[in-house]
Structure 1
Amino acid sequence: MTVRTRLRTVAMAAVLSMMGGASAMAASSAYDFTFQSIDGKPLPLSQFEGKAILVVNTASQCGFTPQYKGLEALWQRYRDRGLVVVGVPSDDFGGQEPGNANQIKDFCEVNYSIDFPMADKTVVSGDSAHPFYRWAADELGFLAKPRWNFHKYLVGPDGKLVSWFSTMTDPESDKVRAAIETLLPEKAPKS
């Protein structure tokens, strides 16, 4: 990290601290963050410690909504080897997630048989973004911020951000699968 970047980070931390958002700057890993689950309970990412996590902001009325199918396929294919997919519904882009938690959950289960963990509707962009998203933007830079629905962050088993994939990147693409596979053991761990 350059001196200039460090100074910018310190200045941002001071501003966020005054705004009550220092938690994103103080975080050292994804495990420091908790979402609210779609069922209204805490969804701490720390419960997935030691696993790879694909965090995806989702929407039910988007042209990219069919990516739910690919996300569920990834979850089914790799979960026994240590991948967790976490869906984070958001109404930030185009108002394409207007439903409440029950409507979103029903939509996902009925249309895509989703059974991976889902957060409640969450702000993922701008000044009011969930601390995980502010931290991810700080860690990976401006270009890594979500610009639309189905933006994907890949977290390694150590809780560090590994990569990000834009909305346009299909969850089952070779690029996403290769990145996931580099983080997972060859075979599922024995229980």
Structure 2
Amino acid sequence: MEKSIFDLVVNGADGQPISMDKYKGRVLLIVNVASQCGFTPQYEALEKLHRAYKERGLTVLAFPSNDFGGQEPGSMDEIVQFCRTKYDVTFDVMEKVHAIGDQKHPLFQWLTAHSDSQEEVQWNFEKFLISRDGQLIARYGSRTSPDDADLVSDVEAAL
């Protein structure tokens, strides 16, 4: 297992590899997302958070996943189109990944291994806050909205 999140490589929505090292020095909010979930309206609050804090160093990274209830069945083009047209998303939407199970992406392996509980992601829109130096600061369940006072306070403290 990689020691730092910055040792990992993920793919962008276009399938091209992106070293997480690109985000070194930024605060990250990593979210597993789905277009057909009851929590999908959180895209609006994620975008608002992104726009409010991106100049201060926050980067929101969305990782679509079809692991929970088949709620992200679309192609990457469909997912990106949905995010841009329905929620005017300007943060990075990455390639669809598995957040759980035998095919769990190394990023989600790292995130769950470094959280206090080390338990699997429970549902869509679970959030992981990462410090500028690549440490997991906090993990928030799906029911915690991106505009939750505690989450926003944690983001501000990390910035």
Q: Report TM bin, short chain.
A: over 0.9
Structure-to-structure mapping, 1:57-96, within 5 angstroms: 57-96=32-71
After TM superposition, give the deviation of residue 127 of structure 1 in Å. 2.1
Give me the CA root mean square deviation.
1.1
Report the equivalent of 2:25. Answer: 50
The answer as to 2:86 corresponding to 1:98 is no
How far apart, CA to CA, are the structure 1 residues paired with 2:111 and 2:119? 8
Match of 1:177 among 143, 147, 152: 152
How far apart, CA to CA, are the structure 2 residues paired with 1:143 and 1:30? 16
How far apart, CA to CA, are the structure 2 residues paired with 1:41 and 1:149? 24
Greater helix fraction, Structure 1 or Structure 2: 1
After TM superposition, give the deviation of residue 115 of structure 1 in Å. 1.1
In structure 2, give the amino acid aligned to 1:157.
R
TM-score normalized by the length of structure 2 = 0.96
After TM superposition, give the deviation of residue 143 of structure 1 in Å. 5.3
Structure-to-structure mapping, 1:100-179, within 5 angstroms: 100-142=75-117, 144-179=119-154
The answer as to 2:15 corresponding to 1:40 is yes
Q: Which has the larger radius of gyration?
A: 1
How far apart, CA to CA, are the structure 2 residues paired with 1:57 and 1:119? 10
Cα pair 1:144 1:164 within 8 Å, conserved: no
Percent of aligned pairs with the same amino acid = 38
Uncovered stretches (5+) of structure 2, i.e. residues with no partner: none
Greater strand fraction, Structure 1 or Structure 2: 2
For 1:46, what is the secondary structure of its paired residue? helix
How far apart, CA to CA, are the structure 1 residues paired with 2:138 and 2:86? 29
For 2:114, what is the secondary structure of its paired residue? helix
In structure 1, give the amino acid aligned to 2:120.
K
Cα pair 1:153 1:161 within 8 Å, conserved: yes
TM-score normalized by the length of structure 1 = 0.80
After TM superposition, give the deviation of residue 34 of structure 1 in Å. 1.6
Q: Size of the alignment, in residue pairs?
A: 159
For 2:109, what is the secondary structure of its paired residue? helix
How far apart, CA to CA, are the structure 2 residues paired with 1:118 and 1:77? 18
Residues 144 and 169 (structure 1), Cα distance of their counterparts in 2 relative to 1, 3 Å cut: farther
Residues 57 and 49 (structure 1), Cα distance of their counterparts in 2 relative to 1, 3 Å cut: same
In structure 2, give the amino acid aligned to 1:70.
A
After TM superposition, give the deviation of residue 41 of structure 1 in Å. 1.5
Q: Cα deviations across residues 33-74 of structure 1 (Å, max 9, x unaligned)?
A: 121111221222211100100000000000000000010001
For 1:128, what is the secondary structure of its paired residue? coil
